[in-house]
Amino acid sequence: HHILEAISRIERYVHGKTFEEFLRDELLQDGVIRQLSIIGEAARRVSEDLQRVYPEVPWKDIIGMRNIIVHDYFGVDLGEVWRTVQNDLQPLKAQIVRALEALEEGPCPS
């Protein structure tokens, strides 16, 4: 799944890095921001019905961050990007894994 692959890439990119290193490394920033954009685009393509089935996933927040990255790239707050990476990716990864497992088990609940 695109979201899980993007999260894995971000995890690899930032492994062992500090916020200060992130701020000094434009290539790292670009890589992380690109993957966050992919996460947001993939979330945007999830049907509203499926979003309602998995309300624990912060779909609107994910899509909102994607919109900021895509439409206001030069206004991206690197501190917010770093906080998102540090605080939100692991819970999101767990939520997406649970949702995918549930989908594999059978039809979506209504």
- Active-site residues: which are they? 66, 71
Report d(CA 77, CA 10) in Å as an integer: 17
The one-letter code for the residue type at 18 is T
Q: List alpha helices for 1-110, DSSP H.
A: 2-14, 19-24, 26-44, 48-53, 59-71, 78-87, 89-105
b or e along 75-102 (b: 16 or more beta carbons within 10 Å of the residue's beta carbon)?
A: ebeeeebbebbeebbeebbeebeebeee
